[in-house]
Amino acid sequence: MARYWRTQGPVALITLTNPPVNALSAAVRRAVTDVLCRALADDEVKAVVLCGENGQFSGGADIREFATPLSGPALVSLVHDIEASEKPMVAAIEGVALGGGLELALGCHYRIAHAKARLGLPEVTLGLIPGAGGTQRLPRLIGMPSALEIITTGRHVSAQEALKLGIVDQITDDNTVETAVKFALSVIGRPLSSRRLSERAVVCPVDVVGVLEAGMARVKRRACGASAPVACVQALTAAATLPYSRGLEKEEHLITTLMDSSQARSMQYCFMAQRIAGKWSLPSGARWSNSKPTAVHRVGVVGLGTMGRGITVSLVRAGISVVAVETDKKQMDMGKQAVLGMLERDAQRRGDTGTRGHPSTHLLTFTLSMQQLGNVDLVIEAVFEDMPLKKRVFTELCRVCKPDALLCTNTSALDVDELSAVTHRRPLVVGMHFFAPANVMKLLEVVCGPHSSPEAVATAMTLGKRMGKIGVVVGNCPGFVGNRMLMLYLDQAHFLLEEGATPEEVDQALEEFGFAMGIFKVSDLSGLDVGWRIRKASGLIGPNVDPKAPSRRRQGNRYSPLPDLLCEQGRLGQKSGRGWYLYDTPGSKEPRPDPAMRRFLQEYRSRYGITPRHIHAHEVIERCTYALANEGFRILEEGVAAGPEDIDVVYVFGYSWPKHRGGPMFHAAQVGLDRVLQRLEHYHQLHPDTPHLQPSPLLRRLVKEGSPPVHQWREHVRHMHSHL
């Protein structure tokens, strides 16, 4: 848990040892407290270097222990003891120093970091604030404006930036521990009081109150109801206005309150869910750990439309060689320009280049010839969503690519299995559903068809991780996990309009719940014609179906033609200046309620004899979120996802579900499965023509078995599938 030995004469070394990231568990805190006592009591020891095993300083407090009562010495006291030491304490930071890890380092009198190290206080992303003195020490070290930005965003800071800001005293490309030991030798005997951050005054700009007020306004605007960012500013305000010890009391009060909150539990669940989804499994039992990914050095991207460009940029950023193929010269030139532009902007942002161009452009080949894909290890096809076109591309790929090259299709809904049937290498075909814009969005659904091999899935997941994506393995069904659930969510929103709500009312309820944008604003942003095209292609609307039919049913189920009617009127969303909302000009992003929309809805309701009723925000949330969770249960039943964590990760990272609500499945568990079941039964009784409101058998089964906690559902589902 912490090793201790004497080295280089008077310098003692304390090594945090809790692989993989040296999380500061109770056992680690206990061990460090003990060895620190030994070092301080040893007259031969004149300085101490604190480092971490395995090239990692520390990933912070042990998140797994948050659910249990605190045991062992508190981290805040340990940091205090380190700072109070009369012998110089030097932190040797390799890998990461995050959260409590950085707080431990801030207790040291000096900090030396490896050039590749990353530092930060990401507690806000776990629904917390730094709770071991970080909110009080960081502004004393680097000043309030920078501390405010770093703590409220939780972002990681590179070693170079940390040096510029003054978080570390030195960075090195060499052995960090050896450098720190040398450094420690050089500072023996120097006075320490100016190095103790708790004894310093906070470096505040003249208008610190204005800075903090602006910070508070900013976090409130962005937080969408999350408490932690607000608490961060409150703790920093205490640092600016109170003596250190009182500021620390405020920090303790705030973190204690947050620690018990459902928001923190939800966000910590999200952190763990992301890791669980990354170690994918399917109900079939196929697992990441058993399947070896193949090496990918060179990737082909076919199609340089919006998706192909974003995918290419993400690959190049990861240092992977790309052969980008287009069939049309003009489209290729445009795509090339767009890709190079994005990479150049990247480089400028990072200050990587003084001249034009990105340092990675040598990784790119643009071509009009598929033949150039002969030596790639994997291809990502990103042509238009059209099955015959994709089939033609896949047939050609089989001809030109080496026999063991993986063939991946970037599709948001098409049948990966049908596509793989045109190849002679079905085990090597998987779906890679990127989200737009692909160079920004984190989520990647890796679609495993019935013939896809576990190795192919493992390879796509590994590639996704290298590209900085959060991969989730899903089964092959229309819309996979994300879009399949989205359809039902949209349906509920449209039905609510039919029954009496306005787009603004539905959006406001969803935004108060925590979504950054309501569903109608999102639809306007994405363009209403996208769904219209898909519905037309799937036969839901078309010449044989009268959208004005009084039953408003399609294929036997309730169907709202509202979005189709909008498209027919040319209301396509932001791009046409009108959609569910009104925009000042086409392309403008500021939605305004449209009186014409109200009139349109009134006319629609009277045409169909619907008496509008007042719809409470509570009903909006229940119908939208429970419909999502209910479909999630069906997805688990069918084996399209292996566990609730996978579904929640898809929703949080692909569909902006608020992290502080955990995800639709976690939210259902928080509400209580029996309550969700009862409300779904109620709504289904009122709307029997909406089968998606009918509670799923798995939900009923879980309730019958006493509503086990969400982390047990995966095992439950696996068990269910093994008995089918």
Q: What is the set of active-site residues?
A: 103, 123
> Smallest distance, Å, CB 62 to ligand 3H9?
4
Helix axes 664-671, 617-638, angle to 10 degrees: 110
CA dist 355 and 645 (Å) reads 45
Q: Does 131 bind ligand 3H9 (CB under 6 A)?
A: yes
Give the binding range for ligand 3H9 (CB under 6 A) out of 9-17, 95-103, 218-226, 450-458.
95-103
Quote the distance between the C-alpha of residue 487 and its chain's center.
22
Nearer to ligand 3H9, 107 or 134 (CB): 134
How many residues at the interface with ligand 3H9, by CB under 6 A?
25
Q: Give which of 294, 284, 287 is closest to 428, Cα–Cα.
A: 294
Q: How many residues does the chain have?
A: 724
Half-sphere exposure of 328 (CA within 13 A, CB side): 8
Nearer to ligand 3H9, 29 or 623 (CB): 29
Binder among 51, 98, 338, 457 for ligand 3H9 (CB under 6 A) = 98
Nearer to ligand 3H9, 103 or 637 (CB): 103
Nearer to ligand 3H9, 130 or 695 (CB): 130
Binder among 53, 123, 498, 564 for ligand 3H9 (CB under 6 A) = 123
Binder among 52, 100, 482, 591 for ligand 3H9 (CB under 6 A) = 100
Q: Does 79 bind ligand 3H9 (CB under 6 A)?
A: no
Q: Give which of 447, 444, 481 is closest to 464, Cα–Cα.
A: 444
545 φ, ψ to 5°? -120, 125
Q: Does 27 bind ligand 3H9 (CB under 6 A)?
A: no
Rg (CA), the chain: 28
Q: Is 649 helix (H, G, I), strand (E, B) or coil?
A: helix
CA angle 373/379/381 to nearest 5° reads 110
> Smallest distance, Å, CB 388 to ligand 3H9?
40
Taking CB atoms, the residue at the shortest distance from ligand 3H9 is 99
End-to-end CA distance of the chain: 45
Quote the distance between the C-alpha of residue 395 and its chain's center.
35
Binder among 11, 35, 39, 132 for ligand 3H9 (CB under 6 A) = 132
Half-sphere exposure of 14 (CA within 13 A, CB side): 29
Nearer to ligand 3H9, 63 or 671 (CB): 63
Nearer to ligand 3H9, 68 or 555 (CB): 68
* Pairing state between β 157-158 and 118-120: antiparallel
Q: x/- site string to ligand 3H9, residues 459 to 498, per CB under 6 A?
A: ----------------------------------------
Phi/psi-derived region of residue 357, left when phi > 0, alpha when psi is between -120 and 50, beta in every other case: left
Q: Is 274 helix (H, G, I), strand (E, B) or coil?
A: helix
Task: State both tokens at 562.
Answer: 């509202």
- Residue list 259-298, contact with ligand 3H9 (CB under 6 A): 275
Q: In what order do the strands lie in the sheet with 118-120?
A: 96-98, 118-120, 157-158
Binder among 2, 32, 61, 216 for ligand 3H9 (CB under 6 A) = 61
CA dist 169 and 148 (Å) reads 21
Q: Does 23 bind ligand 3H9 (CB under 6 A)?
A: yes
Give the binding range for ligand 3H9 (CB under 6 A) out of 91-99, 223-231, 610-618, 658-666.
91-99
65: which DSSP letter?
Answer: G
Binder among 88, 122, 139, 310 for ligand 3H9 (CB under 6 A) = 122
Nearer to ligand 3H9, 21 or 474 (CB): 21
- CA–CA distance from 100 to each of 75, 132, 198 (Å)? 7, 6, 16
Q: Does 644 bind ligand 3H9 (CB under 6 A)?
A: no
- Bridge partners (DSSP) listed for residue 381: 302, 409
Using CB atoms within 10 Å of the CB of residue 118, give its burial: 0 to 12 exposed, 13 to 18 middle, 19+ buried.
buried
> Smallest distance, Å, CB 612 to ligand 3H9?
47
Amino acid at 126: L
Give the binding range for ligand 3H9 (CB under 6 A) out of 119-127, 456-464, 570-578, 622-630.
119-127
CA angle 471/477/479 to nearest 5° reads 70
The answer to whether 649 and 278 have CB atoms below 8 angstroms apart is no
> Smallest distance, Å, CB 60 to ligand 3H9?
3
Q: Does 62 bind ligand 3H9 (CB under 6 A)?
A: yes
Q: Does 83 bind ligand 3H9 (CB under 6 A)?
A: no
Q: Does 21 bind ligand 3H9 (CB under 6 A)?
A: yes
Q: Does 20 bind ligand 3H9 (CB under 6 A)?
A: yes
Q: Does 16 bind ligand 3H9 (CB under 6 A)?
A: no
Nearer to ligand 3H9, 6 or 275 (CB): 275
Q: Does 99 bind ligand 3H9 (CB under 6 A)?
A: yes
Nearer to ligand 3H9, 20 or 357 (CB): 20
Residues in touch with ligand 3H9 (CB under 6 A):
20-21, 23, 59-64, 75, 96, 98-100, 103, 122-123, 126, 128, 130-132, 134, 255, 275
